[in-house]
Structure formats: structure tokens, C-alpha cells
């Protein structure tokens, strides 16, 4: 750690304070691997908070709190989105964006209070190359008698990445009048019917000539009326 790059600090001191996993992930998080980066420990607290938050997914105030319940569609989508992103970034050696993806994933799981084993177990394997010691300990607590580092790395299932619903802004003559959430599998005709049934839209359409309904799938709905 060069003196020209901020300061001279013994890595052993950082490991003693934050742990080897935190130090390892922070080194990855500093930026693209091919670029030289100034060494500065100011950002390491963020990685430390991430690891503590990750650990807290497995525990409640009363101790170990991992559930065998079936995961929800939302939980599966969060996990498989992370798997896809992280595996693609690993292939590009973009380890800093991998760390960012882990942070986003854990934040979302924490927000919905996910503690499902079917989510946390593959996530732990996914994180293992980045935080080998924490994940090894949690793997043992998950009742495994082999190393997490000999486990098959998870792959994503594209079925879980498909959006179940879509939010459509509903416009009349280009002016947004409402937002409606619909099933992502609905046809254009069904989406049109829902938009026309909205009370917030009817008052701008009733008594006027409806010229056409424009539905941009996954984006927006625009009702064109003649004033």
C-alpha cells in the first residue's frame, strides 16, 4: 500500500479490526480490477455494514431464525436477478459491480424480512468466493458437513426473472391521468379495456370521440380523444 496512494497502512491491522472477509470485499469494491486505485479505508465501513446485514438475515433477536417455508415469487426474483448479474460480472472480472449487486440483493431481502432457507442457502454459495469465512461458518450452521467452497455454484432460472405485473402510466392526449398495475401476461385488448374502465380516466373520455388507444407494451397507454 504505497505512500503515494494516501497512506501506509499494514493490511494486518485492517484485518484485525474488520475481518478478512471485509478487507477482501473492500479491495474488490474499490473499482475496476484493471485500474490503479488510491487506498483509503473511509469506505470500508460500508462493506462492514453489508456483512453485518447479511449475517442478520439468518438471525433474529432470539437467535438462529432460518425458515424452511416456501419462498415467494418476489424472493425468488430477487435471488435469481442477483445470480444472473453476479455470474455475468464475474466472467467480466467486474468484481466491484458484483459487490454492489450483493448489497442491493441483501437490502431487498432485508426489506421484505426474508429468512427462507431456499433463498439464503444458494445466496451463501454465491457469496462464498467473496466472503469465504463468513459463508463457511453460515454453511455449517445450515447443517452442512462439507465445505461451502466445494458446493456447485448456483445458476439462475429465467422463469423467476419475468415480471408478474407491469405499471402503466395512462395518458389522455399525452397527459398522464393515472397509473395502473396489470398482469404482465395480458393482451393489448385487455390492457385497453382496463384503461378505459378507470374512473380517473373516464371523466376525460366520456362525451368525446375516442380516436384510438395506443398501448406500448411494458411502457405506457395513451388514449387519443377528439375534444
Delineate the domains of the chain, giving CATH numbers in brackets: 11-161 (1.10.730.10), 165-226 (3.10.20.590)
Sign of CA dihedral 82, 88, 92, 93: positive
**Residue 216: beta bridge partners?**
220
Residues with Cβ within 8 Å of 116's Cβ and at least 6 positions away in sequence, in order, are: 66, 67, 68, 69, 70, 71, 75
* 8 band by pLDDT with thresholds 50, 70 and 90: low
* 191 band by pLDDT with thresholds 50, 70 and 90: very high
| pLDDT score, position 3 | 47
CB atoms within 10 A of CB 158: 8
Average pLDDT over residues 20-46: 81
Whether the predicted pLDDT of 126 surpasses 80: yes
| Contact in structure between 156 and 83 (CB atoms under 8 Å) | yes
| pLDDT score, position 2 | 46
Mean pLDDT, rounded, of the chain: 90
Q: What is the pTM of this model?
A: 0.73
In angstroms, the CA 178 to CA 100 distance is 34
| pLDDT score, position 99 | 95
**Is pLDDT larger for residue 120 or for residue 38?**
120
| pLDDT score, position 1 | 47
Burial (CB < 10 A; 0-12, 13-18, 19+), residue 163, is exposed
In angstroms, the CA 84 to CA 221 distance is 31
| pLDDT score, position 39 | 67
| Contact in structure between 148 and 128 (CB atoms under 8 Å) | yes
Whether the predicted pLDDT of 51 surpasses 60: yes
Amino acid at each position: 500500500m504505497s505512500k503515494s496512494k494516501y497512506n501506509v497502512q499494514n493490511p494486518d491491522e485492517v484485518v484485525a479490526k474488520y475481518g478478512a472477509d471485509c478487507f477482501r470485499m473492500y479491495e474488490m469494491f474499490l473499482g475496476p480490477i484493471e485500474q490503479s486505485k488510491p487506498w483509503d479505508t473511509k469506505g470500508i465501513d460500508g462493506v462492514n455494514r453489508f456483512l453485518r446485514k447479511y449475517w442478520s438475515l439468518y438471525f433474529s433477536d432470539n437467535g438462529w431464525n432460518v425458515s424452511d417455508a416456501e419462498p415467494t415469487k418476489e424472493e425468488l426474483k430477487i435471488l435469481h436477478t442477483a445470480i444472473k448479474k453476479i455470474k455475468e460480472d464475474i466472467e467480466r472480472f467486474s468484481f466491484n459491480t458484483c459487490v454492489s449487486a450483493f448489497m442491493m440483493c441483501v437490502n431487498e431481502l432485508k426489506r421484505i424480512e426474508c429468512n427462507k432457507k431456499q433463498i439464503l442457502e444458494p445466496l451463501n454459495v454465491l457469496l462464498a468466493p467473496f466472503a469465504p469465512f463468513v459463508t463457511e461458518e453460515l454453511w455449517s450452521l445450515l447443517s452442512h458437513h462439507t465445505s461451502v467452497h466445494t458446493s456447485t455454484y448456483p445458476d439462475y432460472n429465467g422463469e423467476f426473472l419475468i415480471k408478474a405485473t407491469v405499471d402503466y402510466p395512462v395518458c389522455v392526449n399525452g397527459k398522464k391521468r393515472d397509473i395502473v398495475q396489470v398482469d404482465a401476461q395480458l393482451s393489448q385488448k385487455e390492457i385497453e379495456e382496463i384503461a378505459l374502465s378507470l374512473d380517473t380516466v373516464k371523466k376525460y373520455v366520456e362525451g368525446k370521440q375516442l380516436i384510438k388507444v395506443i398501448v406500448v407494451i411494458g411502457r405506457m397507454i395513451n388514449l387519443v380523444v377528439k375534444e
